[in-house]
Structure 1
Amino acid sequence: MSVYIVMVAAECAPAAKSGGLGDVVAGLSRELEIRGNAVEVILPKYSGLHYSEIWGLAPSHEDLWVPWYAGAVRCTVWFGYANGRKCFFIEPHSAANLFGRERLYGYADDAERFAFFSKAALEFMGQAGKRPDIVHCHDWQAGLVPVLLREQYGAVLAEQKICYTIHNFRHQGTSDEHVLWATQLGRPDHFLDADRLGDDFRYRGLNPMKGGIVYADFVTTVSPSHADEALYGDGGSGLGRILKEHQAKFRGVLNGVDYEVWNPESDPLVPARYSAGTAERKQADKEALRDRFWLRKTRSPLVAYIGRLDEQKGMHLVHHALFYTLDLGGQFVLMGDAHHHDRINGHFWHLKDYLNDNPDCHLELGYREELAHLIYAGADLLIVPSMFEPCGLAPLIAMRYGTVPVVRATGGMIDTVFDRDYSGRPPAERNGYVFHHTDNRAVESALGRALRLWSARPPEFRELAANCMRADYSWARPGAEYLDIYRGIRHA
């Protein structure tokens, strides 16, 4: 039986994307549609949307009035297709210029911006007559959706069930009680209770992610191992207590990768296309990558890092992996963005200057999607030394391209990358290298084994890369799991 789902999220690729959240919302929506369900996505109308990626964008509701503080804000709701997904974009006309800014996030009033978005999404559903079976909201930006739906819109949206997915526990959107007055929830003594939205670590602080956990019908995070880390370790960044109280409705569902977007057999952004059976063609992509970054042509392995330049991602280990690779005669390409971190940004610009004339190394500071495709296709190895990693899409994408991941055992990477030498799994299921500690020797232990295999036993390295390409981390399995969750909460 088909299900009608409305996704409420701050990102959906390719229209709005700053990281994995955008890929996940798009990939899951597509999978659910393929399975015969109706899916719509509600997003803010950022000034920085990738308008060239949105087809048929036009106003669908001119006068949506959203109650806010003591008055109301008029919004225009736009409709368009982002890579085939049906998307509604909410544009508030207010002096605060909530979404007309250069970045998606990183502003002092983020908590208020996304509280408004959460309320506007529900107001729009109510006024437009949308009555989905499931409202699926994502991360702290939509954490207030379950709260507002139950506390304010319950009469209008009485039958709607709510699934809430947490992509990163580190960012919880905490603020203070002014958000309660802005959204007209009021009653701070009621809502700031420790078992509702009261933040456990900030006096009279309001925590939207906690609210999402308390009020949703079901809560997920993006891998089974990360769910365990959140419940039993420090992976929940202080939300472990409330997760334990609501454990019966919480579980980890591994993210998938959209194999329509990330597929070496059909990727329009790489010069040579290939499959597990024609993997020798990957060499042409490696040469194209070297040309693109002025690296010398040599018989040596190429190691890549793709991702945010952020403490979470293990920057000290990325730095060490770069020099360790060069010491062992390999080449290293890094692509990442650190505009939120002045210290890290400064470090990598300094490093870029220092290594500028090195013919075996290139640092691309900034993120460009088309370059990411070329790096995934052209590299031999991908290093992912994260301190914590809820899911870890980068190693899953790398595997699709026959690029062997070298990862730290944390979060979703525990569920997806199995060490070639030490895993208990059958040899055909081993697909990378894994280390556990957070020091330089730990990185060397795994990266060293990978580089030695590449150099000393090329046929065995090619077999390992083929294992990677045969692994299925598409949305098929997670899509089925989410449908099970939806059915479970609809019939509860």
Structure 2
Amino acid sequence: MSMYIMMVAPEMAPVAKVGGLGDVVLGLSRELEIRGHAVEVVLPLYDCMRYDHIWGLQVTHPDLWVPWGAGAVRCTVWFGFVHGRKCFFIEPHSPENFFNRGGYYGFPDEHIRWSFFSKAALEFLLQSGKRPDVIHTHDWQTGLVAPLLFEIYKHQGLERQRVCHTIHNFKHQGICGPNVLDLTGLKRHDYYYSRDRLGDDYDPTAINLAKGAVVYANFVTTVSPRHAWEARFTEQGHGLGPVLTTHQAKFGGVLNGLDYEMWNPQTDPHIPHHYDAAAVDGKFADKEALRERLWLRKDYSPIVAYVGRLDPQKGLDLVRHGLYYALERGAQFVLLGSSPEQGINAHFWDIKRQMNDNPDCHLEIGYDEELAHLIYAGADILMVPSLFEPCGLTQMIALRYGTVPVVREVGGLADTVFDKDHSDRPREGRNGFTFRDPDHAGLESALSRAIGLWYDYPDQFRELMENGMHFDYSWNWPGQNYVNIYDYIRHK
């Protein structure tokens, strides 16, 4: 049965993208539409959006008045298509200029900006007559939608709407003071400061918007089954473990999907030779093209790669160690990535200079979309030694391109990569190498097995490549999981 779903989010790729959240909103919306459901997305109208990705932008509601504090703020609501998705953009006309700041996040009044957006999104539904079956909210920025819906808007005409909330990042929770309650009209401090509602578990003077979403939403997800467990039982929940356990009956992990249109070695416009699992020889031609592009020696050796942000979360000490270890074991090494932290960038620039004359190593400090595609296609092994990884897309891309992943057994990495030697899956269900401990010995245990297999048992290595290419990490399965969740909460 067809449903009407409204995404309320701070990001959607490519029009407003900072991280994986933006990709999820686009990919999941597209998959739900393919399945016959009506989907609309509500976003802020940022001044710094990629307006070249919006088609037919026009005003649809010139006078949306949003109650705010002692008065109201007038908003203009715009409509446009972003890669076929129907999007509404809310533009508040307030002296604070909530979304005209040249950036998406990182301002001192974040909790005020996003509480306003949450309130405005519900006011838009109320006044426009839109009545979605499910409102799907994302991260703490839209965490106040569920409390506002069930405490205020349910009594004003939105009594049938249900909320699914996805936590992409547990670290950021929207911990703030009581002014949010006064501005949004929730008001009753004693009521909302209760630890059964929005009261922060560790700071009695604060409310926690992420916690509010967990308490009030009809269902809460995070981006992989393993990460759902980690959020409850390890420090990766950043203090939300107890409330997730209290509400465990409505909490679960749904693995993010990968955009199989963008990442497809059969059609990828960024690689010179196309291939698939039935005919992987094009991959070997791409490997030679990668060597030519990066001036690597043409030799009988595997290429080990790292692609991604140079962020401490990614296990940078292990990335550096893996580079030297791969070279010692007779492999070549390629890195593509950069960090917003100058110190980290400077460190990898030092390694780049040190390796400048080494014909088996190339570091590209920065981000280059075309080169990323060529590395995924041309490398033999991709290293993902993350300290934590809620979902992770790089290992899914690697599998799609027949590049064997070597990953730490954590979060979404543990849900997608199954060790060639130690997995309890049948042989055809194994697709890479994993290690448990985030130390040099752990990484070496997996990387040495991968490089050794490439040299000593090339037929087995090729079988592992083909196994990986047969896995389906598209939005197909997650899309069905979300449809099941929506259906479940509609009938509660």
CA–CA distance in 2 between the matches of 1:358 and 1:455?
Answer: 21
- Structure 1 counterpart SS, 2:324: helix
Q: Which blocks of at least 5 consecutive residues in structure 2 are unaligned? A: none
- Alignment-derived partner of residue 325 in structure 1: 326
CA–CA distance in 2 between the matches of 1:487 and 1:301?
Answer: 47
CA–CA distance in 2 between the matches of 1:360 and 1:104?
Answer: 39
- Structure 2 counterpart SS, 1:172: coil
Q: Which amino acid aligns with 2:243?
A: I
Q: Which amino acid aligns with 2:315?
A: G
CA–CA distance in 2 between the matches of 1:446 and 1:13?
Answer: 34
Moved more, 67-76 or 10-19: 67-76
- Alignment-derived partner of residue 460 in structure 1: 460
- Alignment-derived partner of residue 479 in structure 1: 479
Report matched runs for 1:252-267 at 5 Å: 252-267=253-268
Report matched runs for 1:302-381 at 5 Å: 302-339=303-340, 341-381=341-381
- Alignment-derived partner of residue 252 in structure 2: 251
- Structure 1 counterpart SS, 2:163: strand
4+ aligned runs moved over 6 Å, structure 1: none
- Structure 2 counterpart SS, 1:255: coil
- Alignment-derived partner of residue 196 in structure 1: 197
Deviation at 1:342, TM superposition (A): 4.3
Q: Which blocks of at least 5 consecutive residues in structure 1 are unaligned? A: none
CA–CA distance in 2 between the matches of 1:273 and 1:216?
Answer: 45
CA–CA distance in 2 between the matches of 1:105 and 1:356?
Answer: 37
- Residues 156 and 275 (structure 1), Cα distance of their counterparts in 2 relative to 1, 3 Å cut: same
Report matched runs for 1:212-291 at 5 Å: 212-291=213-292
Report matched runs for 1:128-147 at 5 Å: 128-147=128-147
- Residues 165 and 265 (structure 1), Cα distance of their counterparts in 2 relative to 1, 3 Å cut: same
CA–CA distance in 2 between the matches of 1:252 and 1:85?
Answer: 25
CA–CA distance in 2 between the matches of 1:401 and 1:281?
Answer: 11
- Alignment-derived partner of residue 119 in structure 2: 119
Write out per-residue CA displacement over residues 380-436 of structure 1, whole angstroms, 9 at most, x where no aligned residue. 111111111111222112111111111111112222110011111111110000000
Deviation at 1:293, TM superposition (A): 3.4
Q: Which amino acid aligns with 1:273?
A: H
- Residues 276 and 202 (structure 1), Cα distance of their counterparts in 2 relative to 1, 3 Å cut: same
Q: Which amino acid aligns with 1:233?
A: T
- Alignment-derived partner of residue 298 in structure 1: 299
CA–CA distance in 1 between the matches of 2:491 and 2:41?
Answer: 24
RMSD: 1.9
- Structure 2 counterpart SS, 1:406: strand
Deviation at 1:357, TM superposition (A): 4.4
Write out per-residue CA displacement over residues 18-40 of structure 1, whole angstroms, 9 at most, x where no aligned residue. 22211211111111111110011
- Residues 359 and 138 (structure 1), Cα distance of their counterparts in 2 relative to 1, 3 Å cut: same
Number of paired residues? 491
1:46 corresponds to 2:46: yes
1:419 corresponds to 2:419: yes
- Residues 380 and 491 (structure 1), Cα distance of their counterparts in 2 relative to 1, 3 Å cut: same
CA–CA distance in 1 between the matches of 2:190 and 2:360?
Answer: 60
Deviation at 1:145, TM superposition (A): 1.1
- Residues 351 and 58 (structure 1), Cα distance of their counterparts in 2 relative to 1, 3 Å cut: farther
Deviation at 1:352, TM superposition (A): 3.6
- Residues 300 and 68 (structure 1), Cα distance of their counterparts in 2 relative to 1, 3 Å cut: farther
1:182 corresponds to 2:186: no
- Structure 1 counterpart SS, 2:442: helix
- Structure 2 counterpart SS, 1:461: helix
Moved more, 146-155 or 345-354: 345-354
**TM-score if structure 1 supplies the norm length?**
0.94
- Alignment-derived partner of residue 6 in structure 1: 6
- Structure 1 counterpart SS, 2:153: coil
- Alignment-derived partner of residue 76 in structure 1: 76
